Structure 1
Amino acid sequence: MNFNEKTLEVKNIYNGKIIDVDVHTVELPNGRKSSREIVNHSGGVAIIAYKDKDTILLVEQFRKPIEKVILELPAGKIEKDEDIELCGIRELEEETGYKAKEFSYLGKMVTSPGFCNEYIYIYKAENLYKGKDNLADEDEFINVREMKIEKIKEMIKSGEIIDAKTISAFMFL
């Protein structure tokens, strides 16, 4: 069976700094019409930054949508027309104060394909060295944490780490 939906019309209902929202009128595989609310996002990059073979860097920050401080991989939004790898290199330094001599692509994931077109690209950073500190955005407050990989795995299993990109990235280890 063909599960594809044919887009008949797209209406933009919101343009923001981080996301846009469109309503698509679609024709379903059975010929009926329906609508889909779609959040458009430019995507992001997350970095597994190895301080040493057993230790990676996480960032701790408050996330307003869930009203919690959470631990997650350093990550950030891809700017318009920005190269994905260069975004990762930039975000690593902005969020942790480190640069990497080795920076390699591991894979990608979709965050919430039921309503959002965001992809997050996962990179591995090794042989870290100090870059510039305090490059985080003016509205971003981050605490960098060095954590053992085994401890992070325990925290994922116990529900202490709940960030989806961080949990998903561990599949690449």
Structure 2
Amino acid sequence: MPNPDDRSDAEGLAWETLDSDVDYSCPGFDVRRDEVRLPDDTETEFHYVDEPETVVVLAFADGGETVVLVEEWRQAVGRVNRGLPAGGVESDDADLAAAARRELREETGHEAETVERLHAAEPTNGFANSVHHYFLARGCALAEGQDLDFNESIRPVRTDYAAFRDAVLAGEVRDGRAVQGVAMYEARRRSDRP
């Protein structure tokens, strides 16, 4: 089934990029400024967050009854966030599945027996070029300690998947990646039923 977002029918809507430069750079992302021409020939600037592709892992242990999560301090909202292991794709990752395995291991110390692609999304394409690649990891077991980046404050936790799913569906989990990962997983499970 074709993706409606992949249509090349941009006539009358597309902006022409005249120039592009990084205004600010920091670990994890850049703030990019594009000089653009709009369809009505107006020239203006557009700023957006430019960041590497990200993998997000919905990781199951104990035959699928338990999910491996991370509790992480999120400075932007000033609280501990409970969510899914995630991180940027690096140049030495063999592929996206390898990046998912690496992030799971680094953030939680868990290894997965299998990793499979769930879906991809552009969660904030109005102001960022982020692409999040979601993966299901199954048969996860603790293998080693964490290997965190200098600016990560993360505590791995294991919890009952059904309880976490119910918390997501009740609006008690605010992490967007966790909400989307659980929602897409549940949608797939429903569509796979006879």
The answer to whether the superposition gives a TM-score over 0.5 is yes
Stretch moving more, 107-116 or 133-142: 133-142
CA contact (8 A) 2:59 2:68 kept: yes
Aligned-pair CA distance for 1:64: 0.6
- Residue 30 of structure 1 and its aligned partner are, at CA, apart by 2.0
Partner of 2:112: 100
Q: Which residue of 2 aligns with 1:42?
A: 52
CA shift, 1:53, in A, is 2.0
RMSD: 1.7
TM-score, normalised by the number of residues in structure 1: 0.91
How big is each residue's C-alpha offset from its partner over 1:110-160, in whole Å with a ceiling of 9 and x where there is no partner?
121111111111011111233211322343222222222322233223432
In structure 2, what residue type is equivalent to 1:95? E
Aligned length, in residue pairs = 173
Task: Give secondary structure in 1 for the equivalent of 2:106.
Answer: helix
Q: Paired residue for 2:67? A: 56
Kept in 2, the 8 Å contact 1:59–1:145? The answer is yes
Tell me which residue corresponds to 1:20.
30
Give yes or no for the alignment of 1:166 onto 2:142: no
Instruction: Tell me: CA distance 1:138–1:28, structure 2 relative to 1, closer, same or farther (3 Å).
Output: closer
* 8 Å contact from structure 2 (residues 168, 182) kept in 1: no
Gaps of 5+ in 1: none
Once structures 1 and 2 are overlaid, which stretch shifts more, 135-144 or 52-61?
135-144
Is 1:109 aligned with 2:117?
no
What stretches of structure 2 of length at least 5 have no aligned partner?
A: 1-10, 186-194
Identity within the alignment, %: 25
Q: Which of 134, 149, 152 does residue 140 from structure 1 map onto?
A: 152
What amino acid is the match of 2:46?
Answer: R
Higher strand share: 1
Structure 2 counterpart of 1:128, from 133, 140, 145: 140
Amino acid at match of 1:134: Q
Change over 3 Å in CA distance of 1:46–1:143 after alignment to 2: same
> Among 96, 99, 103, which residue is 1:84 paired with?
96
TM-score (norm 2): 0.82
Query: Does the 8 Å CA contact 1:47/1:124 hold for their aligned counterparts?
Result: yes
Cα deviation code 1:12-53 (max 9, x no counterpart)? 211222111111111112222222102110121110111132
* Amino acid of the structure 2 residue aligned with 1:2: G
Which has the larger displacement, 12-21 or 57-66? 12-21
Structure 1 stretch 117-126 or stretch 46-55: which is displaced more? Answer: 46-55
